């Protein structure tokens, strides 16, 4: 009896905690409301399952509690009940899986003309590469990484010479323009995560993963690493700043191209060896 009461209280407490809790998802700043809808749908389906199962257990504990002289009836099979359980469970599982597959399809299918921007993760910071005037990123290879070429851009690929290298962890993007983020890791597994953008994807060494989004709100957002990647993991943070077109263009024009950064780095090496 007491256990049944505790179960009812657990259900009531869980629902009250959800509705009264001050912890909510961060306000969305991208086009991915569909992802929030899918999370909400999953929440309501799992809530219905949780409430139904726990209340049913509480009911059974009370209804079939021990009473002197009462014996359990033997019922090895109830086909009608099994059919209902199979149907309801199937509908629940389909509702949990199908929307996710639809959203996933959209999430990795960037619209035509989306700007390609690369985010590179390395223990423990973020760097970025944006296309130059040719609007194309040059080839890259992790074997080309060195002090003067931290992202391993291929010097022999002409498309890469005007690529803009952003090594200070601060990425600016223009408001309202679709962006395809190409994600590359130079060492271990990392995960590109901007909660407000609802962007989250693993960076897997040896391959380029990607997702796309359209920033819909001017602001400054934190870029986190969401895959434990060593002792510096909590410090692996970057900044995403969504700008008006003019502010973005100003920032963009202040960035160094791959060619410039290699020249200035070589100059730096020379003056360092002269000292």
- Which residues lie near Cu ion (CB under 5 A)? 190, 225, 229, 236
Residues 173-186 as b/e (b if ≥16 CB within 10 A, e otherwise) read bbbeebbbbbbbbb
As measured in angstroms, the least distance from the Cβ of 200 to Cu ion is 13
Give pairs for 198-205: CB < 8 Å, separation 24+. 198/28, 198/30, 198/32, 198/35, 198/36, 199/30, 199/32, 200/226, 202/227, 203/119, 203/120, 203/121, 203/227, 205/142
If the CB atoms of residues 115 and 226 are measured against Cu ion, the closer one turns out to be 226
Nearer Cβ to Cu ion, position 93 or 208? 208
Q: Quick one: which of 112, 99, 96 has its CA closest to 34? A: 99
Residues contacting residue 7 through CB under 8 Å, at least 6 positions apart: 54, 55, 57, 58, 61
Closest CB 170 distance from Cu ion, rounded Å: 17
125-130/115-122 β-pairing? antiparallel
30 vs 185, beta carbon nearer Cu ion: 185
Q: Cβ of 65: how many Cβ atoms within 10 Å?
A: 11
State the minimum distance, in angstroms, from the CB of residue 169 to Cu ion. Answer: 13
- Give the residue with the Cβ less far from Cu ion, 182 or 229: 229
CB of 193 to Cu ion, least distance (A): 10
Q: Toward Cu ion, which CB reaches closer, 130 or 229? A: 229
CA distances from 22 to 19, 25, 27, 45 (A): 9, 10, 13, 22
Tell the smallest beta-carbon distance from residue 184 to Cu ion (Å).
Answer: 13
- What is the nearest approach in angstroms of Cu ion to the Cβ of residue 229? 3
Q: Smallest gap, in angstroms, from Cβ of residue 27 to Cu ion? A: 25
Phi, psi for residue 123 in degrees, rounded to 5:
-60, 110
For Cu ion, give the closer residue by CB, 165 or 223.
223
Distance CA 263, CA 266 (A): 5
Rank residues 7 and 151 by Cβ distance to Cu ion and give the closer one.
Answer: 151
């Amino acid at each position: 009896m007491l256990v049944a009461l505790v179960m009812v209280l657990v259900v009531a407490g869980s629902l009250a905690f959800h509705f009264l809790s001050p912890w909510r998802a961060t306000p969305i700043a991208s086009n991915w409301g569909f992802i929030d809808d899918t999370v909400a749908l999953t929440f309501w389906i799992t809530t219905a399952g949780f409430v139904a199962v726990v209340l049913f257990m509480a009911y059974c504990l009370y209804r079939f509690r021990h009473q002197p002289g009462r014996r359990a009836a033997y019922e090895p099979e109830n086909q009608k009940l099994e059919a209902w359980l199979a149907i309801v469970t199937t509908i629940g599982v389909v509702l949990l899986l199908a929307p996710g597959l639809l959203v996933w399809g959209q999430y990795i299918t960037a619209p035509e003309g989306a700007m390609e921007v690369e985010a590179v993760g390395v223990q423990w910071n973020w760097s970025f590469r944006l296309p130059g005037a040719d609007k194309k990123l040059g080839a890259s290879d992790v074997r080309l990484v060195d002090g003067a070429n931290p992202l391993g851009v291929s010097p022999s690929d002409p498309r890469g010479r005007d690529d803009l290298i952003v090594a200070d962890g601060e990425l600016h993007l223009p408001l309202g323009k679709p962006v395809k983020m190409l994600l590359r890791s130079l060492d271990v597994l990392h995960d590109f995560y901007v909660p407000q953008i609802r962007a989250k994807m693993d960076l897997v060494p040896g391959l380029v993963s990607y997702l796309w989004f359209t920033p819909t709100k001017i602001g400054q957002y934190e870029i986190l690493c969401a895959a434990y990647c060593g002792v510096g993991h909590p410090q692996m943070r970057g900044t995403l700043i969504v700008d008006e077109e003019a502010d973005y263009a100003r920032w963009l024009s202040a960035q160094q191209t791959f060619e410039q950064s290699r020249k200035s780095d070589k100059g730096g090496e020379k003056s360092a060896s002269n000292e």
